[in-house]
Amino acid sequence: MHNAALLSHQIATLRRAMSEPTPNPADLLMVRDLDGRTVRPLNPPPGVTPRESAVLLLLFPASGELWLPLTVRSSRLTTHRGEVSLPGGGADPDDHDPAATALREAEEELGIDRSTVEVLGHMTSFYIPPSNNRLTPVVGLSSVTPHFKPDPHEVEAAFVVPLRQLFDPETIREEIWERQGLKMRVPFFWLEERKVWGATALLLSELVSRMRMFDPPAAAR
């Protein structure tokens, strides 16, 4: 597919995908036990009030296709040090919705100008036990190729990957890990020589699942 046609097709599929409320659960990259049962809870335990948080999954045009930025969390942070993530964090009192949180955090962490981002919607919110956060992934489309300025206090490194790479079967891998005596199947995206697993893999796989609902063979082209 020609670059201009590819970019146009990806944007159209993305917009349609964000109108679909429910992805296929079987498509989601989630940590499971050896029998295939999910290990992570998607909702907080009874009586626990999580902190509301949001991340920005930003798609932007470059070289005739859509790309997305990922960050490596700084070793200075208290949780999820060194993990591949998306720009985001906890809601502030002045944030009127998850999109406001995601845009503010993306501006603080990567210098993304929020005025260039069109919010297309949000995906499924889910619970993150280690930090007691309920995370809402917000999907945005930039009108320009951003010039990233990572905040060294929060971001150890930043890199970008083409959207089509998420659809490549060779990108998805799985390992058996053992935590507290429990063996688990841990799926992840292998991107730029890094393991992208956990919450980030979960929400990226939801985006892929949504886009495939509308255009299975062409979403990755």
Please name each of the domains of the chain with its CATH number. Answer: 3-214 (3.90.79.10)
Residues 36-81: tens digit of each pLDDT: 999 888 899 999 999 999 999 999 999 999 999 999 976 555 555 5
The pair of structure tokens assigned to 37 is: 């049962």
The predicted model scores a pTM of 0.91
Residue 180 has a pLDDT of 83
The pair of structure tokens assigned to 154 is: 């929060």
> What percent of the chain has a predicted confidence (pLDDT) above 90?
73
Q: For residue 82, which of 187, 201, 196 has the smallest C-alpha distance? A: 196
Q: Could you give phi then psi for residue 112, rounded to 5 degrees?
A: -75, 125
Helix count and strand count (H, E) for the chain: 3, 12
With beta carbons less than 8 A apart as the criterion, state whether 121 and 16 touch: no
With beta carbons less than 8 A apart as the criterion, state whether 13 and 5 touch: no
Cα–Cα distance for residue pair 95/84, rounded to 1 Å: 25
Residues 107-153: tens digit of each pLDDT: 999 999 999 999 999 999 999 988 899 999 999 999 999 999 999 88
Cα–Cα distance for residue pair 184/198, rounded to 1 Å: 12
